[in-house]
Amino acid sequence: MKLMRVGEVGSERPAVRLDDGRVIDVSSEIKAIDGAFLAGGGIEKLRARLAGGAGAFPVVDLAKVRVGAPLARPGNIIAIGLNYADHAREAGMEIPKEPIVFIKAPSSYCGPNDTVLIPRTSQKTDWEVELGIVIGKPASYLANEAAAKAVIAGYCIVNDVSERAFQIERGPTWIKGKSARTFCPTGPWLVSADEVPDPQALDMSLSVNGQIMQRGSTKTMIFGCLHVVWYLSQFMDLEPGDLIATGTPPGVGMGMKPPRYLKVGDVMELEISGLGKQRQPLGQA
């Protein structure tokens, strides 16, 4: 199932993208796509309801409505750094022996096609296409990766937008470079885990102004999705609705020679196979 939210900021309505490409408004059936919905078996219940036919639900014209992030603002946005060996090398950093963990402020969360705002004092705003994991059940001290699989609600695209000077040159404290408003475009859909047979076999790409910058695959992750969820559960309680960004392949602006960073008027386009596409213009905060 592909879960969506449509509507203006703060007034998003739950929706579902059907296999035939239509999007239907399911706000008459469910109030919100959030942690409580996921923890309460909402995906399975909604799937059962739609099995009887989707004709009773209004069709959404995506040309006339904003696409929001696919679930309500997460309690935690947890990110994994340097999770692709070739990206670690382009950043001039050692390949980590354990996952590098940092946090993005939930206030950075936004829709997949919203304008990304360059911070007022930024000189080095950068892009990062990433696979996102959404937690569907409480998880603490998971026993193994099989247990981790059982707590994943689904997967989505995340753009881990980063301000490199804030991240590296002013501390370093990574959260400062990762948390500006609009620095976490997410969606367009949350694809339920049962429809992603192998999250370690997804092609990824990101372009700026039509030029491909990143092209990679989740198969080259150092720490796979199940390991990441198991690992995080040893250090913190994961809650339904939490979002995990799992790292980016090579091709970020910081790694270019000379480095290239985003400017007002640029347009980023992201895609992960089976998870949809994003498109974000750049504006000024």
pLDDT, position 196: 98
User: pLDDT tens track of the chain, all 285 residues?
Assistant: 999 999 999 999 999 999 999 999 999 999 999 999 999 999 999 999 999 889 899 999 999 999 999 999 999 999 999 999 888 888 777 889 999 999 999 999 999 999 999 999 999 999 999 999 999 999 999 999 999 999 999 999 999 999 999 999 998 889 999 999 999 999 999 999 999 999 999 999 999 999 999 999 999 999 999 999 999 999 999 999 999 999 999 999 999 999 999 999 999 999 999 999 999 999 999
**Under the phi-then-psi rule, with left for phi > 0, alpha for psi from -120 to 50, and beta for the rest, what region is 274?**
left
pLDDT, position 285: 98
Distance (Å) of CA 279 to CA 157, 167, 208, 265, 270: 11, 24, 10, 13, 6
* Structural domain boundaries in the chain: 2-51, 71-284
d(CA 186, CA 154): 13
Is-cis flag, bond preceding 172, omega within 30?
Answer: yes
d(CA 232, CA 79): 10
pLDDT, position 280: 98
d(CA 154, CA 190): 6
Q: pTM, whole model, 2 decimals?
A: 0.97
Residues found in the chain: 285
Domain 71-284 bears CATH identifier 1.10.260.40? no
